Amino acid sequence: MDAQLLEIRDEVFRRNPGETEFHQAVNEVFESLVPLSARHPEYADAAILQRICEPERQIIFRVPWVDDAGKVQINRGFRVEFNSALGPYKGGLRFHPSVYLGIVKFLGFEQIFKNALTGMPIGGGKGGADFDPRGKSDAEVMRFCQSFMTELYRHIGEYTDVPAGDIGVGGREIGYLFGQYKRITNRYESGVLTGKGIGWGGSLVRPEATGYGAVLFAEEMLKTRGQSFDGQRVAVSGSGNVAINAIAKAQALGASVVTASDSGGYVVDEAGIDVELLRQIKEVERGRISEYAERRGASVSYVADGSVWDVDATVALPCATQNELNDKNAAKLLASGLVAVAEGANMPCTAEATAMFQEAGILFGPGKAANAGGVATSALEMQQNASRDAWSFEHTEERLTDIMVNIHESCAATAEEYGMPGNYVAGANIDGFKRVADAMLALGVI
Ligand code: NDP
């Protein structure tokens, strides 16, 4: 990194103390921008980098609610409206006890560039709360969502800011949030949230889109080396929305997916993960991955508290959470014959692990490109809402596939153009940044 970039980066760190995940995300983007800043001095003249690192608006609010025992509980809600140069802020809501401003800002910052890469007119934002939906009754989750939306509603809108799901926020939570928005505003404004149910404004393929998209991106990477998913041994982490649909798509393309995990442990199923059983346990019953092993029988092993990355694989799809795959895990995977990694989750690989994969010449698809299929299909949901239309599964999946192929092509072409062929991290960061920076230049100092 040159002196000017370092100075700007250090100033971002100084102004946002203690936000380690945000610092990590900023650092990764800055490292990729060295060749771009040399070619485009106009960005520095307009302080684009400094402006892009400063959210346009940050909202932090109290979320009081009453639990089933009648006790008042307090959580903290967040919405960071990061950048609207390309369109209304767009990005999910995360409900997890680890949520604090630094996590919301890392996710929002990544979202700016990811959304730009989709080619759709959407800006970047993210939000959530330090609320843990696990172990809560439906009634408690509903009361929490209603309280959360009672503050959030004044900040969002189909032309302003359009939240969606993320960890801990799925169809159930989006339903309660949308219901409360509709009640407060007295408007059936479908385009204000995405990830809605199919019967009330949702889009087919949206539930599958992030996991499917990550696999489609990985398939495009594999093609560049004359390979495909067919016959690969795949390790997947997580067992939520992204993981389950990544497993389904990888299997449909002929891979053998042998793992799934949650925060309690992981399973190894040498016969290939039974996706329908996994869906039943995780999505319908809201159970734990240990129950998968109990119900699937003797061929499956369950490892409590271990790392899923101890399992040999030729393709790794980290689909759980940030910094779940470190340098030690990377070394183990590389030794087991790894050929590709695609990040279904946001920033699941540490900076050290990412560097090791790149140095080893492994195909590496960073989250902001590989998992962009989810937000892209959210934008397709917004299109359907705006035209009061509902597309077929086939048509929507075709659109998703085209988008993922285009993202792969433009990341690869940008990496090539800037002298780093095959480096999808650089390609995604430079391409995404350039699209946003050019719009910001055109819109003036705002
Ligand atoms: P879900 O809540 O559906 O599933 C999350 C999964 O990850 C669960 O299996 C969960 O296990 C596991 N997990 C969460 N936190 C941890 C942790 N600290 N340690 C170990 N495991 C953990 O979330 P999604 O599948 O929607 O999201 C997964 C990732 O994908 C996130 O990084 C998210 O930002 C990213 N993403 C999601 C998109 C979407 O469309 N949903 C779009 C783009 C990216 P447990 O139940 O034990 O917590």
346 C-alpha to ligand 1 centroid (Å): 9
Tell me whether residue 111 is annotated as binding: yes
Ligand 1 atom nearest residue 107's Cα: 34
One domain for residues 100 and 153 = yes
243 C-alpha to ligand 1 centroid (Å): 8
User: Domain of 288: which CATH number?
Assistant: 3.40.50.720
Rounded to whole angstroms, how far apart are CA atoms 235 and 403?
A: 25
E strand or H helix at 88: none
Rounded to whole angstroms, how far apart are CA atoms 365 and 363?
A: 7
**What was the pLDDT predicted at 297?**
85
- Other CB atoms within a 10 A radius of the CB of residue 410 amount to 18
Give the residue whose CA is nearest to atom 33 of ligand 1: 345
CB 239 near ligand 1, within 6 Å: yes
CB 372 near ligand 1, within 6 Å: no
Which residue, among 386, 406, 389, 401, has the nearest Cα to 205 in the 3D structure? Answer: 401
Contacts of 28 (CB under 8 A, 6+ apart): 347, 351, 354, 425, 429
Give the residue whose CA is nearest to atom 32 of ligand 1: 345
3-state secondary structure of 389: coil
Tell me whether residue 196 is annotated as binding: no
Ligand 1 atom nearest residue 372's Cα: 43
One domain for residues 215 and 182 = no
Which residue, among 112, 47, 119, 120, has the nearest Cα to 83 in the 3D structure? Answer: 112
One domain for residues 275 and 359 = yes
**What was the pLDDT predicted at 37?**
85
Rounded to whole angstroms, how far apart are CA atoms 103 and 68?
A: 29
- Other CB atoms within a 10 A radius of the CB of residue 177 amount to 27
Which two structure tokens, joined as six digits, stand for 285?
Answer: 């019953």
One domain for residues 166 and 315 = no
Give the residue whose CA is nearest to atom 36 of ligand 1: 345
**What was the pLDDT predicted at 1?**
83
320 C-alpha to ligand 1 centroid (Å): 4
Ligand 1 atom nearest residue 375's Cα: 42
Tell me whether residue 314 is annotated as binding: no
155 C-alpha to ligand 1 centroid (Å): 25
One domain for residues 292 and 363 = yes
Tell me whether residue 396 is annotated as binding: no
The answer to whether residue 197 sits within a structural domain is no
Report in angstroms the alpha-carbon separations of 247 from 29, 121, 166, 271, 316: 29, 29, 18, 13, 11
pTM over 0.95: yes
First to last CA, the chain: 27
The answer to whether residue 13 sits within a structural domain is no
One domain for residues 140 and 68 = yes
Q: Which of 167, 288, 368 to mutate to test the pocket of ligand 1 (most atoms within 8 A of CB)?
A: 167
The answer to whether residue 3 sits within a structural domain is no
Rounded to whole angstroms, how far apart are CA atoms 20 and 420?
A: 28
One domain for residues 221 and 107 = no
- Other CB atoms within a 10 A radius of the CB of residue 206 amount to 27
Tell me whether residue 194 is annotated as binding: no
**What was the pLDDT predicted at 160?**
98
One domain for residues 183 and 222 = no
Per-residue pLDDT tens digits for 76-88: 999 999 999 999 9
CB 382 near ligand 1, within 6 Å: no
The answer to whether residue 417 sits within a structural domain is no
One domain for residues 149 and 257 = no
Pick the last residue of a domain from 343, 370, 397: 370
Q: Which domain holds residue 159?
A: 56-188
94 C-alpha to ligand 1 centroid (Å): 9
Pick the last residue of a domain from 340, 370, 400: 370
Q: Please state at what angle helix 351-359 crosses helix 20-32, rounded to 10 degrees.
A: 30
Pick the last residue of a domain from 349, 370, 391: 370
3-state secondary structure of 280: helix
One domain for residues 166 and 236 = no
**Residue 88 and residue 122 in contact, taking contact as beta carbons nearer than 8 Å:** yes
One domain for residues 226 and 348 = yes
CB 314 near ligand 1, within 6 Å: no
- Other CB atoms within a 10 A radius of the CB of residue 247 amount to 29
The answer to whether residue 137 sits within a structural domain is yes
Ligand 1 atom nearest residue 94's Cα: 34
The answer to whether residue 166 sits within a structural domain is yes
Tell me whether residue 20 is annotated as binding: no
Residue 16 — φ and ψ, nearest 5°?
A: -130, 60
Ligand 1 atom nearest residue 262's Cα: 11
**Residue 246 and residue 279 in contact, taking contact as beta carbons nearer than 8 Å:** no
User: Domain of 84: which CATH number?
Assistant: 3.40.50.10860
Query: Mean pLDDT for each consecutive 10-residue tract of the chain (446 residues)?
Result: 93 98 98 92 95 98 98 98 98 98 98 98 98 97 98 98 98 98 98 97 98 98 98 98 98 98 97 98 96 91 95 98 98 97 98 98 98 98 97 98 98 97 98 98 96
3-state secondary structure of 236: strand
The answer to whether residue 306 sits within a structural domain is yes
The answer to whether residue 339 sits within a structural domain is yes
β-bridge partners, 262 = 265
Report in angstroms the alpha-carbon separations of 216 from 39, 177, 222, 348, 401: 32, 31, 10, 18, 7
Residue pointed to by tokens 């183990």: 332
CA–chain centroid gap for 235, Å, is: 18
49 C-alpha to ligand 1 centroid (Å): 29
One domain for residues 138 and 235 = no
**What was the pLDDT predicted at 74?**
98
3-state secondary structure of 59: strand
* Torsion (CA) 355, 356, 358, 359 in degrees, nearest 10: 110
Q: How many domains does the chain have?
A: 2
328 is catalytic: no
| Options 126, 249, 282, 434, the catalytic residue | 126
85 C-alpha to ligand 1 centroid (Å): 28
Ligand 1 atom nearest residue 260's Cα: 9
CB 174 near ligand 1, within 6 Å: no
CB 103 near ligand 1, within 6 Å: no
Q: Strand 89-95 relative to strand 72-83: parallel, antiparallel, unpaired?
A: unpaired
What are the b/e assignments for 46-80, b being 16+ CB within 10 Å? Answer: eebbebbbebbebbebebebeeeeeeebebebbbb
CA–chain centroid gap for 369, Å, is: 10
Longest CA pairwise span in the chain (Å): 64
